[in-house]
């Protein structure tokens, strides 16, 4: 599971906020002690608000007018919320919700709501995630699948990587016979700017194990995933 944490541009995260991801200090306490301690939450929020204020000025706005007075703090708070996935990892959300079980058929959770932020434009992309796996002696509490999505969605992302990370996390937690993830999303950076493709949806998938190797399993999954899409 250590890969799950590290696979998300760990270097960039650390540069932003050293030791920010929970668990880091306990797994490598010795080396962390030598590094300067990271700015606390309040300090980071205040700095971020300052930057947003400057951003408003550069956009030609007056950050002191009534409507904008509290905007820098609000934006800083919103950004912290939208990227709170940096502060969680899959281990945290799964806890002890993995159970021994002999069930050997496909388990699927459809239409998991997704909200994320495109790392190229810092604009939202959002849609649905469909997840399925075929257990090999272990199942996970169904409510945990949406929470795994949250861990990775609440970071700066590209849809392709998000899809792979969710599949990878399930593979590492459950070691199932196969896992399939389909993400369908619309990107505001495409809809609001540039090409202005209002109705185009981006669909990505990650297929592992039997979902990749067995055409029948793959077809069944993709049929279920795209039904009503
Ligand atoms: Zn974008």
Cα(120) to centroid(ligand 1), Å: 5
pTM: 0.81
Catalytic site includes residue 41: no
CA 48 to centroid of ligand 1, rounded, Å: 21
118 CA from centroid of ligand 1 (Å): 5
Kindly list the protein residues that place their beta carbon closer than 5 angstroms to ligand 1, a single-atom ion: 118, 120-121, 189
Is residue 129 located within the same domain as residue 71?
A: no
Q: In the predicted model, what is the mean pLDDT of the chain?
A: 86
Kindly name the residue from 45, 55, 61, 121 that is annotated as catalytic: 121
SS3 assignment for 127-184: EEEEEEEECCCEEECCCHHHHHHHHHHCCEECHHHHHHHHHHHHHHHHCCCEEEEEEE
Quick one: what percent of the chain has pLDDT higher than 70? 83
pLDDT at residue 35, rounded to an integer? 67
With 80 as the cut, is the pLDDT of residue 183 above it? yes
154 shares its domain with 51: no
- Which one has a higher pLDDT value, 32 or 129? 129
The domain in which residue 26 lies consists of 2-86
Whole-number pLDDT of residue 174: 95
Pair (195, 130) in one structural domain = yes
* pLDDT band at residue 199 using 50, 70 and 90 as cut-offs: confident
DSSP annotation of 197: -
pLDDT of residue 14: 35
Residues 35 and 133 in one domain: no
For the question of residue 119 being annotated catalytic, the response is yes
Tokens of 107: 């388990």
Overall number of domains in the chain: 2
Catalytic residue among 118, 130, 168, 184: 118
- Which of 32, 62, 86 lies at the terminal end of a domain, its last residue? 86
In the prediction, which pLDDT does 198 show? Answer: 73
Same domain for 116 and 169? yes
Residue 11 neighbours by CB under 8 Å, 6+ apart: none
Which CATH number characterizes residue 209's domain? 3.30.1130.10
Residue 214 is among the residues annotated as catalytic for this protein = no
pLDDT in tens, 95-135: 889 999 998 899 999 999 999 999 999 999 999 999 999 99
Residue 9 maps to which CATH number? Answer: 1.10.286.10
Block residue for tokens 């050293």:
18
Residues 81 and 103 in one domain: no
């Amino acid at each position: 599971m250590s890969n799950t944490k590290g696979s998300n541009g760990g270097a960039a995260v650390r540069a932003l906020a050293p030791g920010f991801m929970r668990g880091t200090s306990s797994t490598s306490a010795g080396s962390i002690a030598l590094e300067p301690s990271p700015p606390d939450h309040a300090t980071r929020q205040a700095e971020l608000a300052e930057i947003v204020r400057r951003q408003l000025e550069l956009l030609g706005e007056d950050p002191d007018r009534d409507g904008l007075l509290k905007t820098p703090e609000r934006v800083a708070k919103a950004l912290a919320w939208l990227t709170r996935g940096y502060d969680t990892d899959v281990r945290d959300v799964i806890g002890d919700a993995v159970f021994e079980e002999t069930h050997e058929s496909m388990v699927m959770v459809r239409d998991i709501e997704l909200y994320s932020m495109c790392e190229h434009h810092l604009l939202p992309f959002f849609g649905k995630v469909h997840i399925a796996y075929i257990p090999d002696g272990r199942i996970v509490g169904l409510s945990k699948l949406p929470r795994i999505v949250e861990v990775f969605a609440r970071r700066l992302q590209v849809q392709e990587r998000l899809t792979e990370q969710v599949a990878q996390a399930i593979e590492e937690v459950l070691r199932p016979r196969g896992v399939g993830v389909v993400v369908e999303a619309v990107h505001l950076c495409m809809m609001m700017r540039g090409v202005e493709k209002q109705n185009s949806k981006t669909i990505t998938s990650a297929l592992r194990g039997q979902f990749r190797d067995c055409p029948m399993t793959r077809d069944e999954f993709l049929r279920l995933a795209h039904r009503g899409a």
